[in-house]
Structures are given as C-alpha cells and as structure tokens.
Amino acid sequence: MKIKPWISPEDQCCTLGRHTWSVPRLFELTRNLPVMELPINAVCVAYSYEKLMLREMVMHMKAVVNDADLSLPIILDEDGEVMDGRHRLMKAMLTGAETIKAVRFEENPTPDRVAD
C-alpha cells in the first residue's frame, strides 16, 4: 500500500514558540553557512510530539527509514534548537552515527509568521 505524504515539501514549516518559518526559505538562507560535523550527543533531543495517529506514525517511520537524506545538514537556530532535520537526526541515531552534518544561524532570520 502506497501512502502519500500529507504535507508537500514546499509547504513544510518550522514553528518555535510563536515564530514560524518556511522550511524551503530556511534552506535558502542556510545555503552559504558553513557545514559542521556535530556530535549527536550535543543536539537537544528532548522533543515532545502530540499523540500521533497510526497514519502519521507510518509516515514518520517512512521518512526516517527511507527518505531522510543524511547528506543534507540539519538546521539549528541561534540557540541550537533544531529548526529542520528531526527525521535526519532520528535516522542518524537509529543507524548509530556519532555525528551529523549541521548548520547554525548566528542570529535567527525574521520569521514568516508570528502568532498572537
């Protein structure tokens, strides 16, 4: 059975607190940032996900096991929080990698949206 993703890549976003960024825009903004090999144990992995429905869990596992491209760096905000790349981080952890490629903003870009 083929399961289609419920969010297309161009519609993906990152929300931290009240601020939201377009993931494609984050990729564009990090294009010229230096890529570092970051020890996985230095990345904050204390993420809480709301209850996932079975379909959502299958999509997450598919993204982790099949689709996550470890050649792309994860994107960290100015505080080291993951803005994009949680599936890549999960895949790296599952495969036993000790480091992961990462880029980090020195100062967060202006968000695309700010919630009230």
What residue ranges do the domains of the chain occupy?
A: 34-109
Rounded distance between C-alpha atoms, residue 17 and residue 15, angstroms: 6
Which residues on neighbouring strands pair with residue 20, listed in sequence order?
Answer: 15, 113
CATH class of 34-109: alpha beta
* Strands 74-76 and 99-104, bridge-based pairing: parallel
Q: How confident is the model at residue 7 (pLDDT cuts 50, 70, 90)?
A: low
The yes-or-no verdict on residue 9 having pLDDT over 70 is no
What is the predicted pLDDT for the residue at 11? 74
Rounded distance between C-alpha atoms, residue 105 and residue 102, angstroms: 10
Comparison of pLDDT for 78 and 52, the residue scoring more: 78
What is the predicted pLDDT for the residue at 49? 59
Token pair in block for residue 34: 């230096």
Mean pLDDT to the nearest integer, 56-77? 83
CB neighbour list of residue 91: distance below 8 Å, 6 or more residues apart = 64, 65, 68, 70
What is the predicted pLDDT for the residue at 8? 58
Token pair in block for residue 72: 């792309």
